[in-house]
Structure formats: C-alpha cells, structure tokens
Amino acid sequence: MGELGKLQQFRAERSENGVLHLVFDMPGRPMNVFSNAAIAELVVFSEWLRGSDVKGVVIRSGKPSAFCAGADLTELGLAYDMIMAAPAATRDSVAFDHFFPLSLALRRIETAGKPVAAAIAGLALGGGGELALAAHHRVMVDDSKAAFGLPESLVGLLPGAGGTQRLPRLIGIENALPVLLEGARLSGQAAIEAGLIDQLVSPGEEVMAAERWVLSNAAASQPWDRPEWRPADADRTSAIIDRKRADVVADTLGHYPAPLAILDCVSDGLAQPFDDAIRTEMQIFAKLIQRREPRNMIRTLFLGRLDHDRLRKAGGIPASVEQAVAAVSDALQAGGNADEPLANAFARAGFHGPTSKAPAFDGVIAQAAFWLEAEPVTDGKRALRECLAQAYAVAGQWRPKLSEDERRAADYLLVKNCGFPAYMGGAFASAQPGT
C-alpha cells in the first residue's frame, strides 16, 4: 500500500526500527477529543495499516495532560439535531451510519495483523479509553493523573466504539460494570490487578516500553479473536446482569436509560462473535442517542458545568444567575413541601431535597415519555405538573435576562445544588419540562 498521506489531528512518525508512532495531537486544543475530523483520520489510518510495511504501532498522545478525553460533546449535540431532523423511520440507520465508523476503525486496527501498543501518560477517557482497549498491549505511567475510564453513562450515553464489549471481555463483567455504569476510573496498581493495563512504568518511560513490546515478536491479536477464547464470567453472565439491572432500576427509578442500555449491550454482546457484538452495541447506541435524557444531561452536566466554571473563573457567577436559580428553587420547594401525594410525586420523579424521602419503585421505566408525562395520571402527578408549570413560569421571567451560557450554568446549578433531576435538563433552557 502507498504512503499514508498528511494527517492533521494525528501525526504518523516512523522510527528507524520500523515502528510507527501514531501521535494524537489536535492542533489548537489543550486536550485531544474524538471530533468528526479525528475520527475520519483514524478511519483512513485503519484502512492503510494492514497493507503497510510497518513492524507495529505505538499509539500515544502529543498532549502533556491526556491521552484522549473522549468525544467532542459539542459535535455530539449537532449530531443529535441532525438525527432528529431525519424522518422518524430512518433515524436508527442515520445514527448508526454516523457513529459506527469509529468502532469500525478500531476493529480494523486490532485485526490488521500488526502489534499495537498504547502508551498512556494521562487521562484515557471515553473514546480515548476505547482507543486504548483496541490496542493489544497497554502501558500506563504510575501517576495518579493517568487514569482509564468510560464515563459516558454520566451524561446519559454508553461507550459506542466497542467499550461495552472489549472491557468486560478483558477484565470480566464484575470488574467492568463499575467503570461502565458509575464512571469509575482505574489507574496505577488497581489497573494492573484488574487486568486492564499490561505494564506500569515511571513517567517518561511509557513510549519506550510500548515500543519494546511491539518489537518483541508480540502477538498481534486480541484474546477474543482466538478460537478457544470464552468470557471469564460466561456461566454467571445472566445472574450478574439481572442483579445489577435490579440495582440500577431501584437506584434510578427507571428515569435514566443509559445504564439499562449498557447492561443490554453487555448481556447481548458477550454471547456473540465480536464483529456482531459491536454492531449490536451500535444498534443500541443509535436508539439511545435519540432520547431526550442524554441531550438534556450533556447540555446541563457537561456544557452547563463548563459555562459555570468559565463564569466563576471570569470573576464569579453573575448575581442574576444566582437570583434566578434561587427563585426557581423556592418555587419547587414550595410545592415539594405541600401535601403528601405531591411530595411523593416529586420524589418519584427524581427530585432530591433535604426532606425528600426515597420512594418505592412502582415498576414503570420511562420510555419516550417521562414518568411524570405518562399514564396513568394520578393526583400526585397532576399536582407535580402544576407545580413544575409554576416553576418554569418563574424561570421564564428570568430567561430573557440571561445569556445562553448563563442559562446553561443556571440549569447546572439547579441540578447540582437544588436536587433537580438531570434527565429533565433544568428549567432555563426551555419553556417546558424536558423539551
């Protein structure tokens, strides 16, 4: 095959010993993320690799702080708008076709017949973690700043580039679920003991260690691609998944679809050949990305947090934002402190407060409609809707006084400090709950 050609988001540096260093180094950005441009370049690289004459590949970062911090969530919001603008009957395929190229590129890299090692000297999160999982050997520096994680569930999504398939295959379902469901991170000796990392080295030694492994006549295949391979938890998969599903539903009251979708990926995918499993994962992801919950959580918990932090560093949260949040919080508390049916409805809808009590799960898992929108309409639901309408009317009085970033920051504060459920996204971004 010919030359790789010029890359912009990555650098391809060939060593004299025949090892190619694929350096992730996005221009003009302090941290690498998987943008559309970066994914397109990785697709090109993955198609080139098999026919190349390189002895192997070391994947590393050109940034001092991180290997890769995950997806470009701003572009993800634009993708949501593009998917939802398509005819309803085509949305699944539009989402699948848009997001599957990264998963397919990682699969081509791990099956190209070339030994691939990842040198991790910072955060490897989300898509960055999935890139590391697609390597045959992972070297991490022994530093608390270097960590692996798949935190997609924290913003309402799931790892859609093979993360729900590779991680449980590599370290077992029991070890993988805290990372997949709770955003737990692994680093240092814990990453070694879990079986995630193959080598732990001192800072500055990770690239040479990865290169030595590539040159050691290493096996250029993954365990799950070997004929005799079988998942370590195969006999207990159903029991583990069923127990965790019950825990998730009890904890989330059925409001958050991402953890349940992740469990579906693990349960369905582990029983399949790997190439089928990543397609199953993407089919589940394609449906999840169309839900309102991830859109609301990205807007509030990610973009809103960034806006909040920028405002705070620029001189403090504006008084208008704090006053708006307090006004909406007061309106919600006035309703939450009313009669018992309304208080119970607040708790069942996922609102948290100093006096709220944990409700018993009623078996209803939110689908297209949120719990408070769905039938049957009880007295408590009716009262909750009226109370929320009043709170949103209060937010509506403040909305014109706030800029877009201030509205997102205000919604972040409602979720963070006032017990507003993240799946609904706050009261300032829109005039109706969850829209």
174 annotated active-site: no
Active site residue 38: no
Question: From the candidates 127, 129, 163, 426, which is the catalytic residue?
Answer: 127
Q: Is the CB of residue 426 less than 8 Å from the CB of residue 402?
A: no
- Catalytic residue from among 38, 71, 210, 349: 71
Residues sharing a CB contact under 8 Å with residue 38, sequence separation 6 or more, in sequence order: 9, 10, 24, 26, 32
Residue 433 near residue 369, CB atoms below 8 Å: no
Token pair in block for residue 317 = 């949260």
Residue 246 CB neighbour total at 10 angstroms: 11
Q: How far apart are CA 138 and CA 178, in angstroms?
A: 20
Residue 133 forms beta bridges with which residues?
none
Contact between 200 and 206 (Cβ < 8 Å): no
Catalytic residue status for 85: no
List the end-to-end C-alpha distance of the chain, in Å, as a whole number. Answer: 50
| Cα–Cα distance for residue pair 304/413, rounded to 1 Å | 8
Between the alpha carbon of residue 381 and those of residues 307, 323, 346, 372, 376, the distances in Å are 33, 28, 8, 6, 9
3 state DSSP class of 98 = helix
The amino acid at 221: S
Candidates 130, 206, 211, 406; catalytic one? 130
Backbone angles phi, psi at 14, to 5 degrees: -95, 125
Our answer to whether residue 211 is catalytic in this structure is no
Among the options 41, 152, 293, 406, which is catalytic?
152
Identify which of 81, 76, 100 has the alpha carbon closest to the alpha carbon of residue 282: 100
Token reading at 54: 């390189």
- Cα distances from 206 to residues 13, 110, 117, 288, 398, in angstroms, run 16, 20, 10, 37, 52
Runs of H (alpha helix) within 369-403: 379-398
Identify the CA nearest to 323 among candidates 238, 410, 224, 240.
410
DSSP bridge partners of 10? 24
DSSP helix/strand/coil, 207: helix
- Active-site annotation, residues: 71, 127, 130, 152
